[in-house]
Each structure stands twice: as C-alpha cells, then as structure tokens.
Structure 1
Amino acid sequence: MSNQHQLCLNSGAKEGVCLTAIRYLKGDATDPQEAAAKPKIIVHVCNDLGKWGRGFVLALSKRWPAPERSYREAYASNSPPALGSVQFVPVETFVEVANLIGQRGIARRGQKTPPIRYDAVRTGLAAVAHRAMETGSSVHMPRIGCGLAGGRWDRIEPLIADTLLAAGVPVTVYDF
C-alpha cells in the first residue's frame, strides 16, 4: 500500500515550491521496493559512540554483516566518524547502506534532550543526496531518527525535502 505526500518548501527555496513526493509504503526498509537493476541507498541513523545493537540496525545486521562491521571498525580507529558524516557500505550489486551519524550518544533514562541531532541529520542527508545524484540511486529508509534517537518526523521530513527531494532524488519511507 503506497501513500504519497507532496512537500512544499518553506525554507531553502522559493516559498511554496512543491517537490516530488516522498513515497510511503508499509514494508521492510531492508528490502527496497524498486526495480532490481536500479541503484538504491538504504539510509539509517547511527549514534556517535560506536554502539550498534538496538532498533533498525538489528534488521540490517540480520540481512548483511558489512554495515555493522564498517561502523564498528570506524569507531575502533583513531579517528571515528563525526556527527553528520556518512559511511556508504555496498551490500549487494545495486544496494548500499548509508550509516548516517545523526545522534549524540544514546537515550538514557531521565534524559531531557533526545540524542537526535537535526543539523547532523541534515548534513548527512546532503551527503546522501550528492551520492544518489552521482550514482542515479533512489533512497529508501525507515522513519529515520524517530525511534531510539527520539526525533520527531515533523522535523525530519522537511530535512528530507530540503536535501534529497530538492536534488530530485526519489525517496521511499517504510513503515514496518
């Protein structure tokens, strides 16, 4: 079942400019609903601590070991990825996973500020848009940043519009 919403920008473009819609589907973001021979990027949000083990990453690890391995290796190095950076990890011939570092730490009991960092998500999505334009990829994701990172979709969706949609990149968001 597909549901499309057309987004109109209020910042970063002329007021009221409408872009290609995000396509919303019920399904699994690790199984992009796109032609098999077309390049696809699966985006998800990671923390900046090197911690991998809860949320959407479990589905990724079950399907492909490479994104987790790359993430853990990067955080074991002397120069771990910074907020806003993205690791692009090839997992199949036409599929790569984007580990977007978009949350500061992890949620803790009693913590008032959620770990999501919207500026970092915007920076990372801009890098994904650039990569998607270079490779002719479509972008697929769950509702990034809205699970364990504590973000709000009404703040994430405009970031997608300002980066990916503004670049003409097709985006599909999956609700499991």
Structure 2
Amino acid sequence: MTENTGISYVKGDATAPHGEGVKVIVHLCNDLGGWGKGFVLALSRRWPEPEVAYRRWHRERARNDFGLGAAQFVQVADQLWVANVVGQRGILSRAPGSVRAGETPQGSKGAPVRYEAIDAGLGRVADRARKLGASVHMPRIGYGLAGGEWSRVEPLISGRLTRRGIGVTVYDR
C-alpha cells in the first residue's frame, strides 16, 4: 500500500479481483462508443454484459446521462459489478507514444484522457461503492491507451475513494 494514497498495488488481473465481499471493477471508456482495445478486451472475455450495456448506453445517449464523467454500473456476478466510466474524449488511433508530431487522436485534441471526467466518474463510483459496501478494483486507469499520466490520476483516486474509506486495489500485469 502506498502510504500517502491508501491505494494497494498488486501484480495480477483486475478482472479477477482479490478479497472478500462486494467489489466494483472500474475502467475507462471513451465518448465515441468504441470498445475494442486495451482492458475492455479482458472484460469482454469474462463477461459480455459490460460491453452490451455500454454500447446500448452510447446508442441511446440522447435519452440518458452518457457523456464525459458519467458512470454506468453493470452487475456481472452476485457480489461483482463493473463500472464503465466515460473518462476519454475520443481514442488514440495508435499506441501511446507513437502519435507523430502534429497528429491528433481520432475525436480528440491531444491525449484522449480527461482528468476532470475521471474525477467526476470516480465520485459516482464512490457513491455506489459506499451504498454497496464495496471495495474498488482497477487497472491503472487513464494510463496506456488514454494517454494520461498516472501521477495525475492517482491523486484523483485517493481523493475520491481512499480518503472516504473505500478500499482500492490497482492491478499491474
């Protein structure tokens, strides 16, 4: 556990969270309705429900809360939920770090990560986790395909979750 954040870091698979009790797996989605790279592939291999729900949520966005900062909660087992958090504007068309000078990601200006949206989404996750009495589990969200910096995401997780007494485990492969 990192002393100043309260976040536990472990090696492993975030789709197989450790511990007892109710758990919420958090990951980031884009605002384009795209699902097909990164952590979502691991989710879809285990459960079809989060992808189906996300695609429907995006398709019906004119009649719901879909948008940056929103969070959708999908129950995949008796004590297990997946939180689809919209924290990216657009997507990277290439791997992070390989976007050429002057090139912008599809549907985005610069890296797709939106820290304000992650913060708002994590607030929604905190509210749901408290209601469920759940711990929160995730890969390093906002990092990787989102093009963000962990040093900017980690304080958001700490501020929204661990400081409110919600246990958080981050999984590194």
User: How far apart, CA to CA, are the structure 2 residues paired with 1:26 and 1:162?
Assistant: 23
Aligned pair partner of 1:72 in 35, 41, 55: 55
Q: CA deviation at 1:155?
A: 0.2
Q: CA deviation at 1:107?
A: 1.4
Aligned pair partner of 1:166 in 140, 153, 163: 163
Partner of 2:89: 104
Matched, 1:57 2:57: no
Aligned pair partner of 1:128 in 125, 130, 153: 125
Matched, 1:138 2:121: no
Partner of 1:33: 18
Report the count of equivalent residues: 159
Percent of paired sites with the same residue: 53
Write out aligned runs for 1:2-21 (5 A): 4-7=1-4, 21=6
Aligned to 1:57, the other structure's residue is in SS state: helix
User: How far apart, CA to CA, are the structure 2 residues paired with 1:78 and 1:48?
Assistant: 10
Q: CA deviation at 1:167?
A: 1.0
TM-score normalised by structure 1 residue count? 0.87
Give the 3 Å change call, closer, same or farther, for CA 101–7 of structure 1 in structure 2. Answer: same
Partner of 2:144: 147
Q: CA deviation at 1:77?
A: 1.3
User: How far apart, CA to CA, are the structure 2 residues paired with 1:97 and 1:7?
Assistant: 26
Give the 3 Å change call, closer, same or farther, for CA 78–87 of structure 1 in structure 2. Answer: closer
Aligned pair partner of 2:79 in 94, 119, 122: 94
Aligned to 1:127, the other structure's residue is in SS state: helix
Consecutive unaligned residues in structure 2, runs of 5 or more = 94-98
Aligned-residue CA RMSD in angstroms?
1.2
Give the 3 Å change call, closer, same or farther, for CA 27–41 of structure 1 in structure 2. Answer: same
Superposition misfits of 4+ residues, deviation over 6 angstroms: none
Aligned to 1:91, the other structure's residue is in SS state: strand
Give the strand-richer structure, 1 or 2.
Answer: 1
| Greater Cα shift, 26-35 or 108-117 | 108-117
Letter in 1 for 2:31: D
Q: Deviations 1:79-137 (Å, cap 9, x if unpaired)?
A: 26110000000000000000000000111442261000000000000110111111100
Partner of 1:46: 29
Q: CA deviation at 1:29?
A: 0.1
